[in-house]
A and B are shown apart, each in its own frame.
Chain A
Amino acid sequence: MRKISGATFAGIFQLALTFPSQGGEPVRVKITNLAFLPAEITVQAGETVEWVNEDFIDHTATETSEEWDVPIPAEKSAELKLTRAGTFSYYCRIHPGMKGTVHVIAK
C-alpha cells in the first residue's frame, strides 16, 4: 500500500526510481553544495547509480534529452538503473549550473 502511494506520488518519475540492482552496490554520486561529486562516473550497463543529496534543498538528475529525470529530495537519495550503453550528460532542472556525466559501458 505504502509502496503504491509512493510510486503514485513520484508520478512520471516512478520508472526512474528503482530499487537496488540485484547483486552489486550502486555507484554513488554525492551532491553537496550544489555540485555532483564526482561529476563524471563510469558504470557498466545494468548497474545502478545512487545520488546522495546532502544539501537541504531538492535537486534533480535530468538527462539532457530527458531520457531520464530523477528527483532527489533534500537530504535523501535516489537511484537509477542504467541499462543502455552510451554517454549521458545530465543537469539539475532547478539549478541548471549543476552538471554531471555518466558513461555506461556495455557488459
Chain B
Amino acid sequence: MMRNSMIGMVAGLVLSTAIAIAADKPSDPQIAHIAYTAGDLDIKAAKLALEKSKNETVRAFANDMVRDHQAVNDKALTLVKKLGVTPVDNETSKALIAQAEKKQAELASLSGSAFEKAYVDNEVAYHKMVNDALRTTLIPSSSNAELKSLLETGLKIFEGHLHHAEMLAHTHH
C-alpha cells in the first residue's frame, strides 16, 4: 500500500519534471506527439475498463472516453498530415507512457468495485494532469494557429471529461 502510493508519487514527480523540461520549448511536432499520446493512453485505460467492468455507468463513461479521444486524435492526424508535420517522440511522451503502463498494471490487478473506483479516480487525476499540461505548456507553446486551436478545443472536451469523472467519483465513494 505504502509502497504503491510512493511509486505513484515518484511517477507523478517524474512526469511533472518531464513536462517542465519540455516546457522550455516543445516544438509543434513534439506537442502533436504528446497530445496524441495522451489521448491514446486514455483510450487504452477505457478499453481496460470495458474489459473488466460490468458497471453500466462506468462502461458508459469508458465508451465516451474512447469515442471522444478517438475523434480528437483523428482530427489531430488529419491536421498533421495537412500541415506536413511528423509528430516527434520526446521525453514527455515517454514519461506519460511509462506512468500509464504502471497504472494499467495496477488497475489490471484489481476487480469489481475496487477496480471501478481506482479507474474513475485515475481518470480524474489523469485529466487534471493532461489539462494542466495543455493549459500551461502545450497550448501556449504551439506556434501553428490550427494546432493551437485544436488543442484548445481538446482542452474544452477534456475539461468536460474531468467534470464527468468527478461526478462519477462522488457516486463511487
A residues neighboring B (CB under 8 Å): 33-34, 56-58, 74, 92-98
Is the Cβ of A96 less than 8 Å from the Cβ of B160?
A: yes
Residues of A within 8 A of B167 (CB): 96
State whether A74 and B71 are in contact (beta carbons under 8 Å apart), knowing that A33-B153, A34-B156, A95-B157 are contacts in the complex.
yes
Is the Cβ of B67 less than 8 Å from the Cβ of A58?
A: yes
Is the Cβ of A94 less than 8 Å from the Cβ of B160?
A: yes
B residues neighboring A (CB under 8 Å): 60, 64, 67-68, 71-72, 75, 153, 156-157, 159-161, 163-164, 167
Is the Cβ of B71 less than 8 Å from the Cβ of A92?
A: no
Is the Cβ of A97 less than 8 Å from the Cβ of B75?
A: no
- Report the bound CA distance from A56 to B73 in whole Å: 11
Is the Cβ of A57 less than 8 Å from the Cβ of B71?
A: yes
- Nearest-neighbour CB distance to chain B for A70, whole angstroms, equals 16
- Nearest-neighbour CB distance to chain B for A66, whole angstroms, equals 13
Extra inter-chain contacts (13) besides given A34-B156, A34-B160, A94-B64, CB under 8 Å: A57-B68, A58-B68, A92-B160, A94-B160, A95-B157, A95-B159, A95-B161, A95-B163, A96-B160, A96-B163, A96-B164, A96-B167, A97-B160
